[in-house]
Amino acid sequence: MTTIPSPTDVGALANRINFHTRDQHNKIDGQMSVKFAFAMKHGFIYRQGILAYYYIFNAIEQEIDRIFEHAETPEELQTRDILKQFWVDDFRRSDKIFQDLELLYAKEYPCSASLKMFLAENVLPPEQQTFVNYIHEGIQAKPTAVLAYCHVLYLALFAGGRVMRSTVYRSTGLFPKFPDLTPQEVVRRGTNFFTFSPDGVLAENQLRKNYKKGYELATRQGLTEEQKLHILEVSNAVFEWNTRIVSEIGEINRQELMGKLSFKLISFAIDEWKHTEKLTRKQKSLMLAMGVVIQLLAMYWMLRKLF
């Protein structure tokens, strides 16, 4: 086979991953659509999400680099040979996310050195740290497991990154303001995570086509059935971990803000209610009305403190 496999080609590893993770994919796709829309209204949450994925992609790429540079065991050598057939530096995301973080954290860490120190010393929330550990330990134990991440996470960005990028373009309030840059320039500098080529959509499409073709040709004959089954297992776990990471970010913000009576809390709470899938339209209307009451009470409380 010399072309990208058709969706009905059951022998293709990518198709098997898609089939076996279909339920997980639908679950997180719905969750991410809601959470991403929510994050677009709250820059501090968006920044936390980008930070979380820096550590996730950095862990994957540290393992890829280790395999390329220091492969020793038979499975490491096997994995290196497979990666060589489709992996190129254009796929790397950790360096791109770092560029976004330089802009998002410009006020706190105005130079690259201070940002790098923050990233090195930052204590990750429990679920994030456990996922990072899972990535390192799993790939070191069974190197071909990295191929699950190469399909699930990187192709997800190829598929959805362009949509996310266009959404972020319309949400200029997410980013800090810089007197020497227009809002459009700021957004462009802050969306490297979702950009795979500076040469435009056609170049990105060709890159994606080459990636999928190289991945399929390398994995169809280069893996045992046992290895493929393990990659399917890891692929399912990656979807589950993504769900847990996104939920953890929401819970952390909820707990931190609940102790503060502020307009930031009120805005967060009302918007979260509006984006909660489990609530009926009637329940959402009731919650929105309650939010208005809370706003009025908060204004009254603050005015009493002032006068």
As annotated, the binding site for heme b includes: 25
Euclidean distance between CA atoms 70 and 214, whole angstroms: 22
Q: Rounded to 5 degrees, what are φ and ψ at 36?
A: -65, -40
Euclidean distance between CA atoms 278 and 244, whole angstroms: 18
Binding residues: 25
Cβ contact 302:294 at 8 Å: no
Angle at 83 between CA 240 and CA 127, to 5 degrees: 25
- End-to-end CA distance of the chain: give it in Å, rounded: 78
Euclidean distance between CA atoms 26 and 178, whole angstroms: 39
Cβ contact 4:213 at 8 Å: yes
Euclidean distance between CA atoms 87 and 64, whole angstroms: 9
Euclidean distance between CA atoms 160 and 302, whole angstroms: 43
Structure tokens given for 64: 């890829």
